[in-house]
Amino acid sequence: MLRNSQVAHREIDQSQRSTAATLLMCPPDHFDVTYQINPWMDLQTWHDQRSTWRERAMAEWQSLKTTYERLGHRVLTIDPAHGQPDMVFMANCATVLDSKAVMAHFRHPERQGEEPFYRHRYHQLKEAGVIADMAFLPAGMAFEGCGDALWDSHRGLLWVGYSKRTAQEAPALVGQALNVPVAPLEMVADRFYHLDVALMPLSGGEVVYLPSAFNAEGLARIHSHVPEALRIEASDEDADVFAVNLVNLGRDIVMSGASEALLERLQSAGYRLHIVETPAFQLAGGSIYCLTQRLDLSWKA
């Protein structure tokens, strides 16, 4: 029997490190649950023990950052801003490919205040040569960055979720801005409001996904791109712990947990699993992938 805790403490074999990635994270100094824009956001549970949860969030975030660094990756940060409780979810700020960042515009006014801080930080990253360019969709068009736009390096394909957050017109425009093919997927379940909680492409070509997050057309699209042997269906048990919201770096997978079936499937596909539990962030509807923005992906890699 394989347990999350056993996976978590497995030693990292330094000789098997993947190529170093550049990641952007936002410390959770101002992380809070003060509004509800997705069904996971649990104000009651959070506020019953707010100071405990805030401490836990800090510890979970540190443990995630340390895990990336132990795996040999570079973690850059952005200064957290007062009054922006969800800013910690950096996946949403943009989608970057081949050094070009398509910047986000949030659907909900509650998160739109984060946008100037992201623009400022990306300007700095441009000056520092970490990214080359920034692009913006037409004014007012909702696009929630890597929450909804996931690069599939195996297929050279950008999976883009729309409807709950990202506007229906956005996937084609993001594809044009990055000059890549796009597979649009309509998000049909309130619980799975962003694509990154429902589908994740892996480096070996496998795609982990929650069938109940998609309609028949979406499932047909997934099936048309991913042969059956590479489809990994996640279960309700996996959904409850945000298992799909994982970060895959080469053969390493950093995730908050999963059912034994999914842990075993990923391990037998040759992935090394690193568990960082994220209960505090789950009370805002986010986990590992949501907390992370990757800056160095490129079509060729």
Q: Which residues bind ligand ARG (CB under 6 A)?
A: 37-38, 41, 86, 89, 91-92, 111, 147, 194, 196-197, 284-286, 290
| Helix or strand holding residue 54 (H, E) | helix 50-70
Catalytic residue among 26, 73, 146, 194: 194
* Least distance CB 260 / ligand ARG (angstroms): 25
Nearest CA to 160 among 190, 135, 179, 186? 186
d(CA 225, CA 96): 22
What's the closest the beta carbon of residue 91 comes to ligand ARG, in angstroms?
4
Judged by beta carbon, residue 85 or residue 184, the one nearer ligand ARG is 85
CB nearer ligand ARG, residue 26 or residue 131: 26
Shortest separation between residue 114's beta carbon and ligand ARG, angstroms: 10
The residue among 196 and 206 lying less far from ligand ARG, judged by its C-beta, is 196
Q: Which of 26, 93, 146, 290 is catalytic?
A: 290
Residues 225-253: b if buried by 16+ CB within 10 A, e if exposed: bbeeebebebeeebbebbbbbbbbbbebb
In angstroms, rounded to a whole number, what is the distance separating the alpha carbons of residues 293 and 92? 8
272-275/252-255 β-pairing: parallel
Active site residue 73: no
Q: What's the min distance (Å) between Cβ of 165 and ligand ARG?
A: 7
194 catalytic? Reply is: yes
Q: Determine contact, residues 113/84, Cβ cutoff 8 Å.
A: yes
Tell me the catalytic residues: 194, 290
